[in-house]
Amino acid sequence: MNEKAPYRYYLAESEIPKYWYNLRADMKSLPDPIINPATLSPLKTEELYPVFTELSSQLEMDNTTRYIEIPDEVRDMYKIYRPSPLTRAYNLERVLDTPAKIYFKFEGNNTSGSHKLNSAIAQAYNAKVQGLKGLTTETGAGQWGTALSEACAYFGIPLIIYMVKVSYNQKPYRKEVMRTFGSEVIPSPSTSTEAGRRIIAANPETGGSLGCAISEAVEKAVTTEGYKYVLGSVMNHVLVHQSIIGLETKLAMEKLGVYPDVIVGCAGGGSNLGGLIAPFAQDKILGKANPRIIAVEPASCPSLTRGKYAYDFCDTGKITPMAKMYTLGCEYIPSPNHAGGLRYHGMSPILSKLYHDGYMEAISAEQTKVFEAAVMFSKYETILPAPESAHAIRGAIDEALKCKETGEAKTILFGLTGTGYFDMNAYASYLDGKMTDYVPTDEDLKAAFEKLPKVNL
């Protein structure tokens, strides 16, 4: 294609993928299995059923099915906001004066404001198929809770959300959005669960953490008849749902006649990055192409760049199974002065394995540098990004500036996971010069690592 790429390129509705892609089916070396902390044996699918929906559990354990058909009911809801645009950042390129060609896949063009809706819809549908009475979940910045609220409203499923307390207080409007969609929102840690009461007893002033909210949501699900728990990141089935991001991106780039040299994404639990890179990582594994893949994480919560590759609990309360992943230890909670999201102590086992095996790089960024990139991007690309997403912008800008030095016209692709409308307190803090950076010391991390479970397999 010789034409100039449009600013925003939309596939047709008929081009929305009909199948999710399961990268595990092509991985030469699979992630280590999830284990039952009581027996230290690999979990069986049925052992997930008390917590998760049956369909999500089956997908979680499926290492062999390469393409999974997307149910019509899920595709119908996808059509409300998908395909999402593949956007060429012409204005950013101009301002950076770089020869690089910068593309981003914009997943913020839906009310939830983020990519999280892609998995929320699939999981709410799974609950409907199973005839459940309700769902529980946790949310940090609020994007996942909003997305699942939307999906549950659409499918008519009641939803209880444990929202990390620090976000609950920083983002009062977020909870109103979730309430508008009919959800019940509880600040976590709360006194409504044993896990919450235990965490409050140990640390009454805590602002909570994703891991702690997960503990509460899981406990609530297993102790409430007809309820199951859903998770918006980290787990394998979530990454499969999110593969729709990468599949659409790759198809759109093919239609534009381009292929990325570098792919950049933010990484908290890994759902967005895992989804974006899935078909490109396939190319890399199969030797068809060799794009660089770069995860950008906050310097305050550096699980890939400074964590251990070890078995750990997925939650602070240690009631979930254990997964082999890059982790800071399930009791690690970043400083409350960290406003930039991506606060999870661990990382998707699939991404952890790809990183461990050298298919992926990782860097960390301090939040003032991230907000600097966010404000610049806002002004010239006229999208105000979520702080989480801005980590990817920071990474992409830095790659583009390297291209300026070397004169290389690389094609850089990054994932713009969402918008920052509910993060204006953090923006205000940055604009007023009050934002500070936080980087844990080696001693901080050593103390956290000492709390890793002792597992010899």
Residue 448 Cβ, how far from its own copies at the closest point, in Å?
A: 33
Nearer to its own copies, 58 or 118 (CB): 118
How is residue 257 written in tokens?
A: 């006649």
Residue 113 Cβ, how far from its own copies at the closest point, in Å?
A: 8
Q: 415-454 mask for its own copies (x: CB under 8 A)?
A: ----x-xx-xx-xx--x-----------------------
Residue 452: CB partners within 8 Å, gap ≥ 6? 308, 310, 311, 312, 327, 329, 330
141: burial class by Cβ within 10 Å (0-12, 13-18, 19+)?
Answer: buried
Residue 379 Cβ, how far from its own copies at the closest point, in Å?
A: 4
> Of 130, 380, 398, 449, which one interacts with its own copies (CB under 8 A)?
380
Distance CA 431, CA 131 (A): 48
Q: Strands, E, within 145-302: which ranges?
A: 159-164, 184-188, 227-229, 262-266, 292-298
Nearer to its own copies, 64 or 382 (CB): 382
Distance CA 262, CA 243 (A): 18
Does residue 142 belong to the site contacting its own copies (CB under 8 A)?
A: no
Does residue 455 belong to the site contacting its own copies (CB under 8 A)?
A: no
Residue 423 Cβ, how far from its own copies at the closest point, in Å?
A: 9
Distance CA 427, CA 414 (A): 22
Distance CA 192, CA 61 (A): 31
Q: Strands, E, within 47-158: which ranges?
A: 67-69, 86-88, 101-106, 134-139
User: Of 305, 231, 183, which Cα lies nearest the Cα of 51?
Assistant: 231
> Of 382, 405, 443, 450, which one interacts with its own copies (CB under 8 A)?
382
Q: 71-90 mask for its own copies (x: CB under 8 A)?
A: ------x-xxx---------
> Of 1, 12, 38, 201, which one interacts with its own copies (CB under 8 A)?
12
The residues that touch its own copies, with contacts defined as CB under 8 A, are 6-8, 10, 12-14, 77, 79-81, 91, 109-113, 117, 150, 153-154, 172-173, 176-177, 179-182, 375, 378-384, 419, 421-422, 424-425, 427-428, 431
